[in-house]
Amino acid sequence: MKLAIVFGGESYEHEISIVSAIALKKVIFCELIYIFCDKNRDFYLIPANEITSKRFSSGKYLNDTKLTLKQGGFYFKKLFKESKVEFDAVINIIHGADGEDGKIAALFDFFGIPYIGPSIEASAISYNKFFTKLYAKSLGVKTLDYEVVTKENKNISIPFPVIIKPLRLGSSIGVSVVKEQSELEYALDVAFEFDDEVLVEPFVENVLEYNIAGCKIGDNIRYSIIEEPQKELILDFDKKYLDFSRTQKVYKARLTEILHEEIRKSFKLIYEPLFEGAVIRCDFFVIRNRVYLNEINPNPGSLANYLFEEFSALIQDLAQNLPKRRKISVAYKYINSIQSAKGKA
């Protein structure tokens, strides 16, 4: 099997995507083709045996083969003809904008390219933390209370301490814990550096946090283990950055059977059918034995490979069982019937 990994993009998480792409080389055991989307949204075919982070920071990738995305896949020019990059499916590992907001999914759908990753609709909902809250509520999955504030209206009514998050960003970028009013203005200014809208939630001290990943193959969801991530005040950018390069397996969290099943049940509600075709990770809080959704990661760091026992087999199985595209027949019957009724050919 040949799988193409598409990474990079015009995003605050561009560099993290590079780290994720390199990490996957260690955990997916089939032929991998690397396709880099640079900050200008140009695509390049990167030699798999020469992929290093320095290749991108130095600009050396500009000497690699430039690609064109068109119907059916990625193409490159030869002397007298155009050739197609051959693969069975694409893995979308672009984090943040371009990869998780639906842009790349829209391109893949438009050009008929099979891909592992969130659909347009799934991206739109999970990329925006406010939409995620509404989606979870519609499913009966609990979330923390929240408010959305803007640069024009910075008033909040949630009691301190609170946590401040840019509305459309991951990897804990721009996130702050605010313990009192005097710290609020600065924290909001930091968050507004990355987005025009900000989510405010109550900060729960020493909250229990659990992560679970999975995907649907055939009729069944294949769950990962449930992990309790190690953190200090919050799971900050530095720790999440390390997560993006993780390939070593982690240990199962020690949970009661009831909580274990409740977390799985909440994951299933969130996953089906919106995220079919993607490997996602959901982060949950447990407060007084109740499960709350913290966030949905539609393209988790290095696809959360470290949470699965047989990750390579999982990805290859998923690539062979992606949702089928609905074919729409365009036969011009309506136009032809009108012309026929008018006596015109």
Give, in order, the Cα–Cα distances in Å from 100 to each of 120, 223, 282, 296: 9, 21, 14, 11
Is residue 114 very low, low, confident or very high in pLDDT (cuts 50, 70, 90)? Answer: very high
SS3 139: helix
Give pLDDT, residue 107: 98
Contact 246, 23 (CB under 8 A): yes
Q: Is the domain of 189 the same as that of 225?
A: no
Is residue 57 very low, low, confident or very high in pLDDT (cuts 50, 70, 90)? Answer: very high
Q: Is the domain of 311 the same as that of 210?
A: yes
Structure tokens at 216: 């649907």
Is residue 303, in this structure, part of any structural domain at all?
yes
CA distance 74 to 42: 12
CA distance 147 to 201: 7
SS3 13: coil
Is residue 154 very low, low, confident or very high in pLDDT (cuts 50, 70, 90)? Answer: confident
Structure tokens at 33: 């083709």
Q: CATH number, domain at 9?
A: 3.40.50.20
Q: What percent helix, strand, coil does the chain show, rounded to 5?
A: 30, 25, 40
∠ CA 262-265-267, rounded to 5°: 110
CA dihedral for 157, 161, 163, 164, sign (positive or negative): positive
Is residue 340 very low, low, confident or very high in pLDDT (cuts 50, 70, 90)? Answer: confident
Count of all residues that appear for the chain in the document: 345
Q: CATH number, domain at 269?
A: 3.30.470.20
Is residue 36, in this structure, part of any structural domain at all?
yes
On the question of pLDDT at 241 being above 70, the answer is no
Domain that holds residue 187: 147-202
Q: Is the domain of 162 the same as that of 210?
A: no
Is residue 331, in this structure, part of any structural domain at all?
no
Q: Is the domain of 160 the same as that of 306?
A: no
Q: Is the domain of 182 the same as that of 218?
A: no
Is residue 345 very low, low, confident or very high in pLDDT (cuts 50, 70, 90)? Answer: low
On the question of pLDDT at 79 being above 90, the answer is no
SS3 65: strand
The predicted model gives 66-77 an average pLDDT of: 96
Q: Is the domain of 134 the same as that of 233?
A: yes
* Average pLDDT for the chain: 92
Is residue 20 very low, low, confident or very high in pLDDT (cuts 50, 70, 90)? Answer: very high
Q: Is the domain of 263 the same as that of 312?
A: yes
Beta bridge mates, 32: 3
DSSP single-letter state for residue 66: E
Is residue 61 very low, low, confident or very high in pLDDT (cuts 50, 70, 90)? Answer: very high
> What is the separation, in whole angstroms, between the first and last Cα of the chain?
49
Q: Is the domain of 33 the same as that of 170?
A: no
The residue with tokens 């991951």 is: 170
Buried b (16+ CB within 10 A) or exposed e, 227-260: bbeeeeebbeeeebbebbebeeebeebebeeebb
Name the amino acid, one letter, at 13.
E
Burial grade of 80 (CB within 10 A; 0-12, 13-18, 19 or more): exposed
Q: Is the domain of 195 the same as that of 52?
A: no
The predicted model gives 305-330 an average pLDDT of: 94
Is residue 308, in this structure, part of any structural domain at all?
yes
Beta bridge mates, 281: 213, 297
What percent of the chain is predicted at pLDDT more than 70? 93
Range with top average pLDDT, 30-34, 153-157, 186-190: 30-34
The predicted model gives 303-323 an average pLDDT of: 96
Q: Is the domain of 137 the same as that of 279?
A: yes
Lowest mean pLDDT among 94-98, 159-163, 273-277, 332-336: 332-336
Q: Is the domain of 169 the same as that of 100?
A: no
The predicted model gives 295-304 an average pLDDT of: 94
Q: Is the domain of 271 the same as that of 136?
A: yes
- Domain count of the chain? 3
Give pLDDT, residue 269: 98
On the question of pLDDT at 133 being above 60, the answer is yes
